[in-house]
A and B are shown apart, each in its own frame.
Chain A
Amino acid sequence: MTSGSSEKSAAKDSTGSPATGLGGGSGMQLIVPLQGVVQGSGGIVLGSLIPCALFYVLQLYLKRNRSPSPPPSPSDDGSWETHAISRSPSRNVLSPRGSSGHAAVSSRASSIAKSGGSPYFVGSRKCSEDPYHPIDNPDGVIQLGLAENHLSLDLIGDWLAKHMKDSVLNEQRGLGGLSISRLAAYQPFDGLMELKMGVAGFMGQAVGGSVSFDPSQIVLTAGATPAIEILSFCLADPGNAFLVPSPYYPGYDRNMRWRAGIELIPVPCRSMDNFVLNIALLERSYNQAKKRGVKVRAILFSNPSNPVGNLLSRETLHDLIDFATEKNIHVIADEVFAASTYGNEEFVSIAEVMNTHEFDMSRIHIIYGLSKDLSIPGFRIGLIYSFNEHLLAAASKLSRFSSVSVPTQHLVISMLTDTKFITEYIKMNRERLRVMYELLVNGLQQLGIECAKSSGGFYCWADMSKFMKSYSEKGEFELWKDMLNLAKIHATPGLACHCIEPGWFRLCFTTLTQKDIPVVIERIKRVTYRH
C-alpha cells in the first residue's frame, strides 16, 4: 500500500472535479536530480533513457488514476422542468469501464450531480422565489409547469373530516381498530392486499367499469416513478432501448436512464396527426435502432398523453399490440391520468383492448398511481399492473426498495373502500378539469393560440410557434425565456418533451382558480404583442 503525499493531493483534487494529475512540474523535479546522477557516472544514453522511462511510467500511473471526466450526454437533472437544448436520443450515462479514478463517486453520480445547471432549472427557481398570489403577490411568477391537481383536494379533505371516527390511529375503533403494532410492523413489500383490492377497484371506476382489474396482478410502489424504474429493470438490460412516442413526459429520461441504463428512442408524432402515434413512424424508428445494433425491448407511451392530453383510440392500441407482438417486445402503458379525463372522447385502457384480442398478454404492462387521479402525490402510491406472472414475481421482490408507508396504506384503504365517495369524486373532478381546460383554451384562442385536441390530463398543449422569432429550437428557447421574464409565466417547452416541432408549450391549469385564467391571458399578451 502506497500513500505518498502526492497521491493525497491528487485525491483532494479529484473530489468533485476531475483530477488533473501532477503535471509536468513535479515530473521535472524527479528527472533533474536523476540526470545529475546518471551524468556523473557517464553515459548519455542512460542519462536520457532512464528519466524518460520513469517519466513515462509516472504519466501512465497518473492517467490510470485520473477521475473520469463526465460522459458526454445531454445534461439532465432528472426533474421534468429541466432539459438541455438537445434533440439527441437520450443515451445511457454509464461511462466505459475502467475509467474511474481515486475516491471519485460513480460515473453515474458525477453526471447526475453536475446536472441541474441546465437553463430550465431557472424557471422552477423563479417560481419558488417569487410565487404568484392573486392578492399578496399579483405580479409574481405564475407556475404553469407543474402537473399537480389542486382543484379537488377539498373533496378529499372533506371526506377525511367526515370520517374522522375511522381514523387509523383512533383508539375507539375497538377490535377493528389499528394498533400501532399493525401500523409499525413489516408488511409485504409490494403492498397490503386490502390496498391492492382498493386500488384495483379504483382503476375499474376510473374506466367506468369497462374493465375489472385483478388485485393479484398488482405490485404497489412508492409512487409511479419507482414503478416505472422497476419495470425498466425487469424488462430490459442496460444499453437496451424503449421506443417512446414524443413529445413525452420529461421525467422518463430520469426514470429509465439514470440507473436502469435504458436508452429512450423518441418516435416523433406530428401536429397534423394531433400528435397521435403513427405506426409507420414506429416501424421506422425500430428499424433505425436495429441498424445501429440497439436492442429495442419495449414501447412505452402515456395514455392519456402527457404532455399533449390526447387519448389513443382502440384501433391505435390494437395496432400497437400487433406491432409489439410482431417484434416480440413489451408494451408499457402509463395510464396515470385515466380518471382525469374531461372530453367527450372515451378513455380506453389497454386492459380493455386485451379482453377482446387474442394474443400473448404477458407482454402488456400498465403503470398507474394515485398521485394524479386522487391528488395525493405526497403519499407516494403507485403500481405496476401486469399480465406476466414472472414479471410480477420479480417486481414484487424489487418493490422492497420502494415500498408504500403502512399508515398511508391504511388511510387510503379507508378512502377507496368508500366507492360511493370515489364515484362522486371522479365525476366532480372531471367536471372541474373540463371547466378549467375550456376557460384556458378559449382564452388562448382569443390570442390566436391554438391548442391540440386534449381530452385528459392537467394541461393544454399550445402552439405558440407563430410568436417565435425563428422557427427553430433557438426560437423556442428565446420564447420560453420571454415567457418567464416578461410574462412571468413558467411553462414547459416542447424541447423538454423531445417534441420534433418547435414552438409547442405545455400549460398546466390545475394549480389555478377560475379567476386566475384572465390574469394568465393578460400576461401572455406581453409576449404575443412583442412578437
Chain B
Amino acid sequence: MGIHHVDEINSSCLLLSRVATNDGHGENSSYFDGWKAYDSNPFHPTRNPEGVIQMGLAEHQLCLGTMQEWIRKNPKASICTEEGLSQFKDIANFQDYHGLPQFRKAIAKFMGKVRGGRAEFDADRVVMSGGATGAQETLAFCLANPGEAFLIPTPYYPAFDRDFRWRTGVQLLPIHCHSINNFKITETALMTAYRRALKSNIKVKGILVTNPSNPLGTTMDRATLRTLARFANENNIHLICDEIFGGTVFDGPEFASISTVLEDDPRLNRDLFHIAYSLSKDLGVPGFRVGIIYSYNDAVVSCARKMSSFGLVSTQTQHLLAAMLGDDEFTTKLLAESRRQLSRRHAVFTSGLERVGIRCLESNAGLFFWMNLKHLLKAATVEAELELWRVIIHKVKLNISPGSAFHCSEPGWFRVCFANMDDGTMEVALRRIRAFVYEANERGTTSAQTTKNKKRFDRTLRLSLPRRFDHDLMTTMTPRLMSPHSPLVKAAN
C-alpha cells in the first residue's frame, strides 16, 4: 500500500471515534442556545446596558465577599503567601488520589454541617472527582454497564444527558412528574417508569434524583425520599442523590438528605446508596472544580477513588479548602449569610413577578425558581414554549431556560436563575419583565371573563410574602394573563 493523500477534513472525520462525532455532548440542545445569545451580547450595567442578562446559569455569587474576607485573614491557607509558602513543596508534589487527609476531613465535616448535624460523614468515603460533572459520570461508570438505565424524575438538569450518558453508554429514563401535585415524585409514576423499562427489556440499575431539585428549587419531603429508598432497596437497584444544592436551602421545610434517611432506617442496604456533591453551588466556587462522590458501598468507593485519577482536585485548592471548611465559625457564618441572601433575592423576584401576574412554583432552595408562563403561550405545545422563549431571549433580552430543555412534561415552565447577579442587574431584569408583560397585555386577547378574573386575581394577590421593598410597581392588574384554571391559583385559594 502506498501513501494516499486524502482530503484533510474527510480523513480527520473518518478517523475519530463515535464519542467524538456523535451528539452526546448535547450542545445542540435549546438549553445552550440562550447561552450562545448571552455570549455574543452579554449585559453590562454601563458598557452594554442593552445586552442579554444571564439568568440561565445557576451560579451563587452572593457570598463571595465573605469568602474573600476569610482568605485575606488566613494567609496560611494559601501557599502563595509568606505564611503558607513553607507548605508549598509538599503540596505541589502530592498527587495521591486519596487526596490530602485534612481536605477529606474538612469536606466530611462540611457535609455534616450542611445537613444541620443530622448526619455524620466518614472522611474515608470522600472521593474526589472533576466537579459534580465528573462525579455523576464516575458513578455511572461504577454502577451500570452500557445499555443499562437509570430512572430520573422530570423535569431534570439537562446536562445529565451528557454527564451521565455520553461516555458511559448508560441510559436515562424519565419518571414523569406533573404540576398538579407540584412535580412531586409519586410511587405510581415510579412504578410506571420501572415497568415500562422492564417491558422494553432495559435493565434498570438505579434511580438518580437531585435534592434539592434542579430546576424546581424544592427540597424533597422525607416521605418521598423514604419511598425512593425503600423502592431501591426492594428492587435491589441503586439510588444516587445529587445533593449539590444542599447548602442553599433558605426556607422551611428543612433539608432531608438521604444520609439522614439511612441513619433512621438500618434495614436499608447501604450498598445501594450514593451521594454526588460539589462545592460549586453551596460555596459558589465552580472554578475550583471540586466534585465529591460519597458512597456507602465499599466497592464503589474503591473503584471511584481509582477513577478519580481522571479528575483530581488541585492540591493547592485542597489545601485552601481544608483550612476554610475546617473553620467552624466561618462555615456557620457562610451558610447563614448564604441563606439570608438567597431568601431575600428569591422573595424580591417572586413577589416582583407576582405583581405582574406571573406565578412560580413555591420553592425553598436552589439558585433559581421555576416560573409558570403557560398563560402566555399561544398553545400548550413545546413549539409555542420555544417561540415564547425566543422572544424572551431576543426581545426581552433575558437568558432563561425553557422547561422543554429539562424534559418537563408540560410546556410553559421556565427556570430563572437569580443568584448570579448584583442588585442593580436584578432591578433591570425585573423592569424588563414588567415591560414585556405590559406589552403582551396590550397585544393580548380580551376575555369576557375579565372582571371575573380580576376579582379572582385580586384575591390571590393577597400575598403571604412580606413586602420588603418599595418598588414603583404598576397597580393596574392584568387579569387576562391569569388563567383561572392554573393549578397554582387553586393552591393559593
In B117-163, the 8 Å CB interface with A consists of 130-131, 133-134, 137, 141-148, 163
Task: Answer whether residue B11 sits at the interface, using C-beta atoms and an 8 A cutoff.
Answer: yes
**CB of A144 closer than 8 Å to a CB of B:** no
The yes or no answer to B315 lying at the interface (CB within 8 A) is yes
Cα-based distance from A13 to B388 in the complex (angstroms): 54
Q: How far is the CA of A106 from the CA of B237 in the complex (A)?
A: 12
Are the CB atoms of A360 and B299 closer together than 8 Å? no
Residue of A105, A157, A184 touching B284 (CB-CB under 8 A): A184
In the complex the two chains form, is A380's CB within 8 Å of B312's CB? yes
A328 at the interface (CB under 8 A from B): yes
Q: CB distance A186 to B92 under 8 Å?
A: no
| B297 located at the interface, meaning its Cβ lies under 8 Å from any Cβ of chain A in the complex | yes
The A148-183 residues at the B interface (CB cut-off 8 A) are 148, 150, 153-154, 156-157, 160-161, 164, 167-171, 179-181, 183
Q: Are B314 and A404 in contact (CB under 8 A)?
A: yes
For chain B, give the interface size range. Answer: 35 or more
CB distance from B435 to the nearest CB of A (A): 29
Chain A residues closer than 8 Å to B320, beta-carbon distance = 407
When the two chains form their complex, are residues A379 and B92 in contact, meaning their CB atoms are under 8 A apart?
A: yes
Are A258 and B307 in contact, CB atoms less than 8 angstroms apart? Answer: yes
Kindly count the residue-residue contacts between A and B in the assembled complex, taking CB atoms under 8 Å apart.
306
Q: For the complex, give the distance between the alpha carbons of A107 and B163 in Å.
A: 20
Q: Report B160-181 CB contacts with A as 1/0, cut-off 8 Å.
A: 0001000100000000000000
Q: Does B282 have its Cβ within 8 Å of any Cβ on chain A?
A: no
8 Å CB contact of A234 from B20, B61, B79, B235:
B20
Chain A contacts for B14, CB-based, 8 A = 328
The answer to the question of A330 belonging to the interface, with a C-beta cut-off of 8 Å to chain B, is yes
A183, B283: Cα distance in complex, Å: 13
| A58 touches B (CB below 8 Å) | no
A226 to B95: give the CA distance in the assembly, Å. 14
Closest to A258 in B: B307
Question: B314 to A222, Cβ gap below 8 A?
Answer: yes
- In the complex, whether B41 has a CB less than 8 A from a CB of chain A is no
In B306-323, the 8 Å CB interface with A consists of 306-307, 309-317, 320
- Tell me if B336 counts as interface (CB < 8 A to partner A): no
Report how far A225 CA is from B134 CA in the complex, Å. 14
In the complex, A371 has a CB within 8 A of chain B: yes
Compute how far the CA of A79 lies from the CA of B145 in the bound complex, rounded to whole angstroms.
23
- Is A112 in contact with chain B by the CB < 8 A criterion? yes
Q: Are A187 and B287 in contact (CB under 8 A)?
A: yes
Q: Could you tell me if A235 and B17 are in contact, using CB atoms closer than 8 angstroms?
A: yes
* Interface check B1, CB cutoff 8 A: yes
Contact B134 A105 (CB under 8 A): no
Known: A258-B307, A406-B287, A407-B320. A236 touches B89 (CB 8 A): no
- How many angstroms from the CA of A512 to the CA of B82 in the assembled complex? 27
Taking a contact as CB atoms under 8 Å apart, the answer to whether A403 and B130 are in contact is: yes
With A237-B18, A326-B1, A330-B15 already in contact, the answer to whether A150 and B303 are too (CB < 8 A) is no
Residue A11 at the B interface, CB < 8 A? Answer: yes
Residue among B15, B67, B71 with the highest chain A CB neighbour number at 10 A: B15
27 A-B contact pairs sorted by A residue (CB < 8 Å): A1-B194, A3-B235, A7-B236, A8-B234, A11-B236, A103-B272, A112-B303, A112-B307, A113-B302, A148-B95, A160-B88, A222-B289, A237-B17, A240-B17, A328-B6, A359-B3, A375-B92, A378-B91, A389-B12, A394-B16, A394-B25, A400-B130, A400-B133, A402-B130, A402-B311, A407-B288, A407-B320
Mark A residues whose CB is within 8 Å of B: 1, 3, 7-8, 11-12, 14-16, 77-79, 94-95, 97, 100, 102-103, 105-110, 112-113, 116, 148, 150, 153-154, 156-157, 160-161, 164, 167-171, 179-181, 183-187, 222-223, 225-226, 229, 233-237, 240, 254, 258-260, 297, 322, 325-330, 359-363, 371, 375-380, 388-391, 394-395, 397-398, 400-408, 411
